[in-house]
């Protein structure tokens, strides 16, 4: 299996090269030259780890079987996830055929653990193959969950240094505490005055600057990424959609081969793109339900074919989705435009310069055949958290609530309430405790730990020990900078920039 770039279809690289590099030289995203087809019956009875290894072998063809097995066994050990890494919970059929895929049982209580527990192991193998003498500098822009998951996954991994940027007022208090207290000798965290797009733009600019890359090379370093622009981060997410489908089969909810829908709360489009790739490999997904919060740039794109980032930005109760530039949409459009890298380059340049692009009728029709787009504001999010608790006695976080509400919208618009639907549940409700508790009862003044204790007492659900332990950890990282200062921060942190931060 070789890989090309969304902006250079002639490129052919090995998996280890694209994982180590993260992003293509011209700014495009790496994609496999083809999506391999699988026989569902051959995978249906596998454990999560066996399924993951089987799928990874199709894509990581320059890894040995032993290397893949080692990566999987280290990433998905039962002590990290409390058993199988994911769980599937079926809700009552009152509001449709809903099956929640819980992806948040890992070390940081968010779905990003599913990829970021294994990416460091992928990267370690890749560096030995493609850049054995280099230290990988992992640059991360995060809207909350990716940052902590990357910090935890790469903590003290040899030959790596992780630098995370997050929007100062754009993450939950618990997400901020998770990052600010992170342990490890090779980690750095810095807040940016601005939103996630400011942080992401700053990171991408650093990534693609030839002069900066040369400066790093002279010091034995190279950039890589833990964001979902890195193929090694996106690939593991394909696995859990197959596993969820097979769980539905095991529970007798579907027959093997029967179609399902997939609903995903998404901002950067990576999680739902992984489901699309699973479909291309043979998973029988009928419709992708793309759920946005008040930052509904993806909803509007799906409905109009025009991507326009010129709009008001909202800081919402589902902050991990507070994004106006959805990087992974580029990979979908590359596929739906018949892999026309010239067309993709033009669209991305238009987005950078003018702030919008129009994919035209042909690609828009393809998007709409596959995707339903809907959005849910904070009031709808709060209402959904409350309704799911009252009707199903099931507690969801704010992001999962967005997906549930948009799925409800889909059922109301189409009348299709019988197709089994896998709904990605992306975070523990305790990570967004103030908004979750506030949806259930009036809030009294307190901090996040007082809210967590009250939510636990009110719902008789368990507070995650990973979050409880943070209370006693010292805060290590307090710096706040402007987005234009990101490069200076990176160089100073690595000891090659001169001057002070």
Other Cβ atoms less than 10 A from the Cβ of 126: the count is 26
Q: Are 13 and 2 in contact (CB under 8 A)?
A: yes
Sort strands 87-90 and 98-102 into parallel, antiparallel or unpaired.
antiparallel
Q: What is the DSSP secondary structure assignment for residue 212, as one 8-state letter?
A: H
Which helix (H) or strand (E) element contains residue 378? Answer: helix 378-392
The residues near 268 (Cβ < 8 Å, ≥ 6 apart) are 143, 227, 228, 323, 326, 327, 328
Q: Are 43 and 51 in contact (CB under 8 A)?
A: yes
Could you give the 3-state DSSP secondary structure of residue 39? coil
User: What stretches of 282-377 show up as alpha helix (H) in DSSP?
Assistant: 297-304, 329-336, 341-353, 360-370
End-to-end CA distance of the chain: give it in Å, rounded.
43
- Residue 224 phi/psi, 5-degree rounding, is -145, 175
Distance CA 50, CA 53 (A): 5
Q: Are 146 and 100 in contact (CB under 8 A)?
A: no
Establish whether 391 is a catalytic residue.
Answer: no
Which helix (H) or strand (E) element contains residue 429? Answer: none
Q: Are 357 and 306 in contact (CB under 8 A)?
A: yes
Choosing from 4, 112, 148, 431, the catalytic residue is 112
Give every strand in the sheet of 3-5, ordered side by side: 8-13, 3-5, 30-32
The residues annotated as belonging to the active site are 112
């Amino acid at each position: 299996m070789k890989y090309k770039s969304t902006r250079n279809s002639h490129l052919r690289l090995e998996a280890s090269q694209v994982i180590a590099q993260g992003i293509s030289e011209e700014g495009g995203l790496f994609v496999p030259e083809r999506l391999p087809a699988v026989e569902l019956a051959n995978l249906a009875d596998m454990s999560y780890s066996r399924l993951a290894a089987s799928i990874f072998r199709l894509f990581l063809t320059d890894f040995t079987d032993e290397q893949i097995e080692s990566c999987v066994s280290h990433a998905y050990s039962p002590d990290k996830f409390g058993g199988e890494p994911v769980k599937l919970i079926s809700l009552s059929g009152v509001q449709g055929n809903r099956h929640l895929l819980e992806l948040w049982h890992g070390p940081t209580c968010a779905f990003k653990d599913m990829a970021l527990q294994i990416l460091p192991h992928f990267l370690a193998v890749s560096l030995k193959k493609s850049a054995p003498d280099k230290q990988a500098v992992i640059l991360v822009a995060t809207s909350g969950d990716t940052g902590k998951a990357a910090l935890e996954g790469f903590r003290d991994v040899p030959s790596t240094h992780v630098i995370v940027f997050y929007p100062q007022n754009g993450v939950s208090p618990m997400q901020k505490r998770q990052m600010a207290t992170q342990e490890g000798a090779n980690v750095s965290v810095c807040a940016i005055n601005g939103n996630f797009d400011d942080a992401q733009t700053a990171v991408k600019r650093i990534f693609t600057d030839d002069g900066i890359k040369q400066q790093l090379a002279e010091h034995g370093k190279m950039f890589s990424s833990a964001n979902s622009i890195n193929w090694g981060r996106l690939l593991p997410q394909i696995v859990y959609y197959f596993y969820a489908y097979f769980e539905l089969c095991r529970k007798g909810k579907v027959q093997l081969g029967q179609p399902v829908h997939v609903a995903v709360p998404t901002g950067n489009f990576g999680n739902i793109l992984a489901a699309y790739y699973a479909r291309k490999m043979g998973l029988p997904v009928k419709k992708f339900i793309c759920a946005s919060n008040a930052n509904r740039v993806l909803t509007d794109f799906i409905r109009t074919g025009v991507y326009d980032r010129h709009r008001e930005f909202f800081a919402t109760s589902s902050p991990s989705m507070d994004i106006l530039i959805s990087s992974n949409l580029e990979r979908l459009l590359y596929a739906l435009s018949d892999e026309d890298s010239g067309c993709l380059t033009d669209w991305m340049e238009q987005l950078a310069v003018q702030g919008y692009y129009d994919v035209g009728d042909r690609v828009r029709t393809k998007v709409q055949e596959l995707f339903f787009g809907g959005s849910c504001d904070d009031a709808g999010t709060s209402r959904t958290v409350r309704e799911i608790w009252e009707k199903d006695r099931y507690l969801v976080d704010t992001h999962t609530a967005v997906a549930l509400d948009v799925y409800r919208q889909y059922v109301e618009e189409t009348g299709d309430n019988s197709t089994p639907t896998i709904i990605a549940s992306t975070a523990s409700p305790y990570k967004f405790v103030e908004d979750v508790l506030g949806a259930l009862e009036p809030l009294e003044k307190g901090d996040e730990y007082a809210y967590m204790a009250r939510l636990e007492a009110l719902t008789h659900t368990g507070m995650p020990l990973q979050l409880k332990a943070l209370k006693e950890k010292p805060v290590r990282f307090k710096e706040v900078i402007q987005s234009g200062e990101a490069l200076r921060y990176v160089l100073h942190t690595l000891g090659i920039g001169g001057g002070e931060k």
